[in-house]
Amino acid sequence: MAEEMRIVLRNYGKIDPLKIDDYIAAGGYKSLEKARGMKQTEVIEEVKKSNLRGRGGAGFNAGMKWNFSYQVQSEEKYVVCNADEGEPGTYKDRIIMENDPQSVIEGMAICGYAIGSKKGYIYCRGEYPYVVDTLNQAIAQAKAKGVLGDFDVEVRMGGGAYVCGEESALIESIEGHRGEPRFKPPFPPVIGLWQKPTIVNNVETFANIPIIIEKGGDWYKAIGAPNYPGTKVLTLTGDVNNRTFFEVPTNTTIREVIFGLGGGVAGGKKFKAVQIGGTSGGFIPESNLDTPIDFDSMNSIGAVLGSGAVFVMDESRDIVDVVARIAKFFEHESCGKCSPCREGTKRMHEMMERLNVGEGSAEDVELLGRLGKVMSVACLCGLGQAAPAPVLTTIKNFNADYQAKFN
């Protein structure tokens, strides 16, 4: 039986998020103090040792990323917190920031010390003006207390562009430009914000940092799946009884999440599909439900952990209709910089709509498969590369739904 384990949400409901004294009384800012008593390389080693991997969806080793920036000689470096949470079905970063903003700020300050940066930005999505208020209050309190030392943090608001979750597009947006991804390399840890070394980490990644410094990398890496240790905050949506969030060790299986913590499929109906990781995630059939949610296990079944969104669909759901809706999303959110994505998402949406209203053919399905394969390798950034996943995985795993549209 799956159980929750709260590391990222360790202070959830226990402290008043707008009272820094509560956070400090719960041990807050001791890790920053501890880190500042260590060598920069020791802090990075500890994070590396924990094997903490990015919680935004890309799963890159956080300590290794920090080391890239540490190694670059530069007067100025930046720490950026990616709070542009826009993956449909995801609200975990909001839960973290609303309930424990100081843990994120402390994580950023530790990163700042480790890489040699004195300036941090939190890029928070424009749809969360109330979270921006909470963050600004938390930052003001941290500055008044003097806990941040010479590290400064500033909040910037996004403008409702899904692509700005991609780190180089996010950087473009902070610089005041259209949020179009950059060509890589160079990668942001070497050349990022205003051409300076920049670490962009997700909210949940930063919230993990203070406790890793407090308890050590060895403690952390013993939790959950060895190749992607720790916990993951999941948000359950769709046809599931408990539409809420849970934090679980990463060796928890999909079945335990949906049927244990999630309370099973709503309305006594049968399970049909689950899409994990947000709207760009693959659709998973019943036969794969015993897969652990960790990054590598999910990849091995052609799915992703992504942002940790868990979107459950019951037996009554028309998969083609849902995927047609998703295809519209990607056409809308494609930034237009590269043609495989700009044209590909448009054609994909057209074909999915045609199929959905019963005017499509087996040839459309075949074309979708070919287009999807091209996009997943030819698109400039993760948006276009991942956009075909819902189409490709449903053609593979839920082909009957497509066939039903021809008759």
**How long a stretch of residues is the chain?**
407
Q: Which of 211, 309, 365, 375 touches other proteins (CB under 8 A)?
A: 309
Per-residue DSSP letter, 165 = G
Examine residue 383 and tell whether it contacts other proteins (CB under 8 A): no
* Structure token digits, residue 167: 């780190």
Q: Is the CB of 109 or the CB of 326 nearer to other proteins? A: 326
Examine residue 52 and tell whether it contacts other proteins (CB under 8 A): no
The CA distance from 137 to 20, in Å, is 10
Q: Which of 211, 212, 326, 391 touches other proteins (CB under 8 A)?
A: 326
Handedness of CA 242, 243, 244, 248 (dihedral sign): positive
Burial track 170-197 (b if 16+ CB lie within 10 A, e otherwise): bbbbbeeeebbbbeeeebbbbbbbeebb
CB of 2 to other proteins, least distance (A): 19
Residues facing 397 on adjacent strands: none
**Nearest residue to 115 via CA among 190, 44, 18:** 44
Examine residue 271 and tell whether it contacts other proteins (CB under 8 A): no
Q: Is the CB of 106 or the CB of 333 nearer to other proteins? A: 333
Residues 78-107 within binding reach of other proteins (CB under 8 A): 85-91, 94
Q: Is the CB of 146 or the CB of 267 nearer to other proteins? A: 267
- For residue 306, the Cα-to-chain-centroid distance in whole angstroms is 6
CB of 392 to other proteins, least distance (A): 16
The CA distance from 118 to 34, in Å, is 17
Burial class (CB in 10 A: 0-12, 13-18, 19+), 397: buried
Q: Which of 39, 41, 140, 160 touches other proteins (CB under 8 A)?
A: 160
Q: Checking phi first, is residue 31 left (phi over 0); if not, alpha (psi -120 to 50) or beta?
A: alpha
Examine residue 360 and tell whether it contacts other proteins (CB under 8 A): no
Q: Is the peptide bond before 186 cis (omega within 30 degrees of 0)?
A: yes
Examine residue 167 and tell whether it contacts other proteins (CB under 8 A): no
Examine residue 161 and tell whether it contacts other proteins (CB under 8 A): yes
Q: Is the CB of 206 or the CB of 283 nearer to other proteins? A: 283
The CA distance from 180 to 163, in Å, is 7
Q: Is the CB of 45 or the CB of 98 nearer to other proteins? A: 98
* Structure token digits, residue 353: 């709509």
Examine residue 195 and tell whether it contacts other proteins (CB under 8 A): no
Q: CB 315: neighbour CB atoms within 10 A?
A: 11
Span of 218-226, 318-326, 348-356, 373-381 interacting with other proteins by CB under 8 A: 318-326
Examine residue 235 and tell whether it contacts other proteins (CB under 8 A): yes
Examine residue 315 and tell whether it contacts other proteins (CB under 8 A): no
CB of 335 to other proteins, least distance (A): 8
Could you tell me which residues come within 8 angstroms of residue 321 by beta carbon, excluding any fewer than 6 positions away? 356
Examine residue 276 and tell whether it contacts other proteins (CB under 8 A): no
Residues lying near other proteins in the complex (CB under 8 A): 85-91, 94, 125-130, 156-162, 173-179, 194, 235, 237-239, 243-245, 275, 279, 309, 311, 313, 317, 322, 325-326, 328-329, 332-333, 335
